[in-house]
Structure 1
Amino acid sequence: MQAFSALHRLVSAVCSRPALPRCGICGTASDTLQPGFGLLFDIDGVLVRGRTPIPAARKAFQKLFNPQGHFVVPVVFVTNAGNCLRQTKADQLSHILGVPISQDQVMMSHSPLRMFRKYHDKCVLVSGQGPVLDIAKNLGFEKVLSIGMLRESFPLLDVVDHNRRPKLPSSSIANIPQIEAVILFGEPIRWETNLQLIIDILLTNGNLGHAHQNLKVPHLPLLACNMDLMWMAEAHSPRFGHGAFLVCLENIYKKITGKELKYEALVGKPSELTYQYAEYLIREQASERNWSRPIRSLYAIGDNLMTDIYGANLYNRYLEERLARKKRKAVAKMATVTGSSGMLSQEDDLDGPWERELAAPSATSCKSMLVCTGVYNPHAELLSDGGRKSQQAAFHGHRDFQFDPVLVEPGYIVRDVDEAVELIFEQEKFVAQ
């Protein structure tokens, strides 16, 4: 894979060079100094490793926060974590970074599900850990069941762990309504329990009181958040993420049925919808600060080639294609006015359902920045059996995202988040005052 080969050639020089000069924050930004860019920060591997803050994070945010208690640029934290409420994550970040963070600046992997209103009044099963019922209700879902609630009502279904099997003969408690959709928030604690019961739900069309039925196509709607195969905690090497759980679920379903598991939606990085929603939050912040200058550039700082870099580059491609369609539409409109033969194809329609929901993006680019403090290991060599660097690497992205080497090429490679902020300020010629 050419992208990885080029990337490795760049890293040794990038990660060993001296730090860029600091631009710092020396006061309140003047009324005329308004940012034309916004920052999208990943959290794990960029700001923290597990519960341990990365030292460069506080240094970076001292540059982004002025003495009057305001951010000098719009900032959104875009994480694939999905095991807590936004306010909880905002409180954690405030403690880690030493600056006040609002929940409106936090985007969890499940945040875009607020827009899936057609499921909000349906009975949904949620899988994950943490306060999954509260998370679902906070997103707008009204009728929510957890895996634990299913297990209590149908104790004979979860039998992998012999110690958790019913000690006495028991029967199902038929007080569970028929399930109409399944939402996967994140990796659960007991994978075997969740895998078993989710498969049961799909094969009984939402009614666990029945045996597995003839397979209906399509099966119940399945919405999944967080496709990360791996993520970086305190350990020396990456740990399994929710993407690993999805791999298990997909393969078990196919092994049993012979058919592919289908998703109604995949949200969280690297999905375009996640970045559309993040940009919407950036614009909202700029509006609240009465910054009239449009936000034209987004910078996405992450540590994972397969999610952070892939997702930012995918969204950048979307923005470029949208801009091209906009130009074609303008040309066709001018041709109509002048009587020329200008035609606008259906492909040139600018706004899909999510654009209409969130309003058209103002950004024209989304630039990816890779840090060397998380999943990405700048010192790892991809060696073939012959001892040469391999041109191919395993694609860790989700199976429904097509691999494109261009999409895993970072726009910039930096040592840490502090150097990323300094480089962005330098690129934008932005000096906070």
Structure 2
Amino acid sequence: MRFSSAFAVLRCRCKRRPSVSFSHRRCFSSYPPPRPSFGIAFDIDGVLIRGQTPIAGAPEALRRLYSDSGGLKVPFLFLTNGGGVRESKRAKELSLQLGINILHQQVLQGHTPFKDLANRFKEGLVIAVGKGEPADVMLEYGFKNVLSIDEYASYFDGIDPLSPYKTWKTRSMIDKGEKEPCKPPHTRNVFSERVEAAFVVSDPVDWGRDIQVLCDVLRSGGLPGRENSHQPPLFFANDDLEYQAVFPTNRLGMGAYRIALEAIFNRIHDNALEYTCFGKPNPSVFRNAENILSHLPCCPNVEPYKGNSTITGTHLFKTIYMVGDNPAVDISGARQAGHPWFSILTRTGVFKGKENDPQFPADLVVDNVGDAVDYILRQEGFV
């Protein structure tokens, strides 16, 4: 099938078209192969995976980026606003789901930038909010004194007045007939220990309790139950309003939770809620991804770049392709980042339109990630 008939290509006339700047040479040549002048960043949910299931054609598309020996032929990484687990664990999960060998360096999650804040809070108590293993994530980043919001809330009798009515059990517990495990005894006294910061690492599970507890922490200066005081810092791993999961229509994300928390806090406190959001579409996330791409091992005998292009202001790549499904996040971020980013929008997730997105138009619109990889490799002479 000819490429032109494989899928509909929609381009913004105002956008440049990346040049074919790399002539492919086999890695077993007697000379070390040149490092590719392009890289790829893939979103995960809605592009490669839906729920826990790979989207049709995604594993095959990614295998084309590896050499016969199993090494990276093209430098690529996963740039997602999701998270809740350590990058090393997510790499293992993705490796099993997609059937390829993924390095932990290839996984950049919404909360990955939190590691740069570890020295700022040192031994101070911080609260980690969200599904998965938020406290373990923060501990791996170098934070010394971390409690999940689940554990923190358990210290305060009555902080969640609805807790007696919550008898949640996991599906596996129900299938096995297991009872809810007993809570371990408390080993510390947090009542006089001030919370120095709160981090929303991943999507909160119990919105009602978490909003209540965070409002108590933030309006009291980090000491729930005390008088109003200066608000501790609050950080969000992303600000996604919606994302694509298993359900046919989009699900509310961390951005929706932030809106709910902010609206309530601003009604009960004299000062407006202060917070910092990370994740896409923040241009700094894309600059960091460019730097990580330059350090990935690619083809045998080719040394990774030793410098830091984000500091020197130089670009090692003539083109970096952002393949995503969310115009307001993936495409908007690539557009804000500017050169050398080139945005590709798929129709397998948040975006399902026939034409380009009117508010955040991509450089290219394709049906799926397979079509995106096909375009990239042809454009770069990798066929």
Deviates more, 1:63-72 or 1:277-286: 277-286
Instruction: Give the deviation of 1:27 after TM superposition.
Output: 6.0
Q: Show structure 1 runs of 5+ residues with no match.
A: 1-11, 16-24, 166-171, 317-363, 383-390, 392-404
2:318 counterpart of 1:296:
yes
2:372 counterpart of 1:420:
yes
Contact 2:35–2:302, Cα closer than 8 Å, also in 1: no
- Alignment correspondent of 1:121: 123
Residue 158 of structure 2: SS of its match in structure 1?
A: helix
- Alignment correspondent of 2:38: 37
Distance (whole Å) between structure 1 residues aligned to residue 28 and residue 150 of structure 2: 51
Deviates more, 1:371-380 or 1:53-62: 371-380
Aligned counterpart for 2:336 among listed residues 314, 339, 342: 314
- Alignment correspondent of 1:368: 343
Distance (whole Å) between structure 2 residues aligned to residue 252 and residue 380 of structure 1: 38
- Alignment correspondent of 1:145: 147
Contact 1:369–1:413, Cα closer than 8 Å, also in 2: yes
Matches for 1:19-418 after TM superposition, within 5 Å: 28=27, 30=29, 31-116=32-117, 117-163=119-165, 175-176=189-190, 177-208=193-224, 210-213=225-228, 215-216=229-230, 219-263=231-275, 265-285=276-296, 289-290=302-303, 294-316=316-338, 364-379=339-354, 405=359, 408-418=360-370
Instruction: Give the deviation of 1:294 after TM superposition.
Output: 2.8
Kindly tell me: are residues 295 and 212 of structure 1, through their superposed partners in 2, closer, same or farther at Cα, counting changes over 3 Å? same
Instruction: Give the deviation of 1:184 after TM superposition.
Output: 0.7
Distance (whole Å) between structure 1 residues aligned to residue 116 and residue 285 of structure 2: 11
TM score, norm. by length of structure 1: 0.71
Contact 1:35–1:430, Cα closer than 8 Å, also in 2: no
How high is the sequence identity, in percent, across the aligned residues? 31
Instruction: Give the deviation of 1:32 after TM superposition.
Output: 3.5
Kindly tell me: are residues 173 and 207 of structure 1, through their superposed partners in 2, closer, same or farther at Cα, counting changes over 3 Å? farther
Distance (whole Å) between structure 2 residues aligned to residue 114 and residue 380 of structure 1: 39
Contact 2:115–2:138, Cα closer than 8 Å, also in 1: no
Equivalent pairs counted in the alignment come to: 330
Residue 372 of structure 2: SS of its match in structure 1?
A: helix
Distance (whole Å) between structure 1 residues aligned to residue 55 and residue 136 of structure 2: 30
Contact 1:120–1:141, Cα closer than 8 Å, also in 2: yes
Code of the aligned partner of 1:154? F
TM score, norm. by length of structure 2: 0.79
The Cα offsets for residues 55-87 of structure 1, whole Å up to 9 and x where unpaired, read as: 121121121111111111111101111211112
Kindly tell me: are residues 205 and 258 of structure 1, through their superposed partners in 2, closer, same or farther at Cα, counting changes over 3 Å? closer
Distance (whole Å) between structure 2 residues aligned to residue 103 and residue 120 of structure 1: 25
Contact 2:323–2:343, Cα closer than 8 Å, also in 1: yes
Distance (whole Å) between structure 1 residues aligned to residue 187 and residue 98 of structure 2: 48
- Alignment correspondent of 2:311: none
Residue 157 of structure 1: SS of its match in structure 2?
A: coil
Distance (whole Å) between structure 2 residues aligned to residue 174 and residue 80 of structure 1: 33
Structure 1 runs (4+) greater than 3 angstroms displaced = 12-15, 25-30, 286-289, 379-382
Code of the aligned partner of 2:337? Y
Distance (whole Å) between structure 1 residues aligned to residue 227 and residue 164 of structure 2: 23
Distance (whole Å) between structure 2 residues aligned to residue 381 and residue 413 of structure 1: 7
The Cα offsets for residues 298-340 of structure 1, whole Å up to 9 and x where unpaired, read as: 1110000111111111111xxxxxxxxxxxxxxxxxxxxxxxx
- Alignment correspondent of 1:356: none
Kindly tell me: are residues 311 and 132 of structure 1, through their superposed partners in 2, closer, same or farther at Cα, counting changes over 3 Å? same
Kindly tell me: are residues 140 and 420 of structure 1, through their superposed partners in 2, closer, same or farther at Cα, counting changes over 3 Å? same
Contact 1:90–1:103, Cα closer than 8 Å, also in 2: yes
Contact 1:227–1:243, Cα closer than 8 Å, also in 2: yes
Instruction: Give the deviation of 1:106 after TM superposition.
Output: 0.5
Code of the aligned partner of 1:421? V
Distance (whole Å) between structure 2 residues aligned to residue 240 and residue 27 of structure 1: 46
Distance (whole Å) between structure 2 residues aligned to residue 62 and residue 202 of structure 1: 47
